[in-house]
Amino acid sequence: MNAIISASELMKELAGANPPVLLDVRWQLSTARAAGAPPFDGRAEYAAGHLPGAVYVDLDRELASAPGGRGRHPLPDVAEFGAAMRRAGVSSGRPVVAYDGGQGWAAARAWWLLHWTGHPNVRVLDGGLPAWEAPLSTDVPAPEEGDFAPSPGASGLLDADGAAALARSGVLFDARAGERYRGEVEPIDPVGGHIPGAVSAPTTDNVTADGRFLPAGELGARFRTLGATEGDEVGVYCGSGVSGAHEVLALAVAGIPAALYVGSWSEWSSDPSRPVAVGPDPQ
């Protein structure tokens, strides 16, 4: 099963016998509040126009629990996540397609959570809303309650200790911008730098200028160049487990399974006992 779907493929599936459930997960990481500007409002964007039949999903409230010591976007309570997905109409026997405003990060967070908790058929709309060329809708659907019962997988998830170990025994990718990895700037978290041993692999390099993923072969070549050779265990982290999910998705497109450290740098950097590396060298 492919992890992504094109807009043209999605149109055909929506007209088919078992159309996918559509999740609108528009969200942006915003530092606007610090400057006194209003934060991004995904629900308002949804209300202004969305794919026909799509249900809005709030990343901060339904795909994460409250921020704190486990990071800015810790794992949601599994029971609450399952209830939110069922309210959105998600069932195990029906495919799911998540999309966002085009960056792909938020949709990938929904994809990763559903995949990790056992949904057999979930994909991300490649290129997000900008790739959709058909009319949008302002109608808010009332989907029939779904039956999805999340069952978290035994693999695919890293905690802080697991991420630190994987940076030594396998490959741990840091999906943030290179300047944050090197510790040159840190606009959000208390400390700049990276987990010792992690390799800089900005998720922005996995997509083209229009936000669509590079072809699978190019992604595979990129990750191999960065050190992910066959048989290696691979993990990813970012700032708070959102853009990192997008990199896990890119790895899946390339055919490389990878685990996600959900707490990511926002959790790691909040603990002063954990080591921090700076500069371009992983160590």
For residue 51, the number of C-alpha atoms closer than 13 Å in the C-beta half-sphere is 26
- The predicted pLDDT at position 70 comes to 95
- Order of strands, sheet of 171-174, starting from the edge strand that comes earlier in the sequence: 157-158, 259-261, 234-237, 171-174, 199-200
Instruction: Kindly state the average pLDDT of the residues 199-223.
Output: 97
Instruction: Decide if 131 contacts 125 (C-beta within 8 A).
Output: yes
- pLDDT reported for residue 40: 82
Mean of pLDDT values over 246-260: 97
pLDDT digits (tens, 9 = 90+) for 75-115: 999 999 999 999 999 999 999 999 999 989 999 999 999 99
Does the pLDDT of residue 36 top 80, yes or no?
Answer: no
Q: What distances in angstroms separate CA 96 from CA 43, 115, 162, 236, 279, one per listed residue? A: 20, 10, 30, 24, 40
238 is catalytic: yes
Question: What confidence tier does 35 reach under pLDDT thresholds 50, 70, 90?
Answer: low
- The two tokens of residue 154 are 């035994």
Position 248 pLDDT exceeds 80? yes
Is residue 32's pLDDT more than 70? no
- 122-165: per-residue pLDDT in tens? 999 999 999 999 999 999 999 999 999 999 998 999 999 999 99
Q: What whole-number distance in Å separates Cα of residue 123 and Cα of residue 112?
A: 9
pTM of the model: 0.95
Distance CA 10, CA 87 (A): 22
Beta carbons of 75 and 262 less than 8 angstroms apart: yes
| Mean pLDDT, the chain, whole residue set | 95
Residue where the block lists tokens 């559509």:
22
pLDDT for 230: 86
* Active-site position among 10, 158, 201, 238: 238
For residue 30, the model assigns a pLDDT of 61
Instruction: Summarize pLDDT for 257-280 with one digit per residue, the tens.
Output: 999 999 999 999 999 999 999 999
CA-to-CA distance for 71 and 86, rounded, in angstroms?
A: 26
The per-residue pLDDT for 39 is 79
Give the confidence band of 29 by pLDDT, cuts at 50, 70, 90. confident
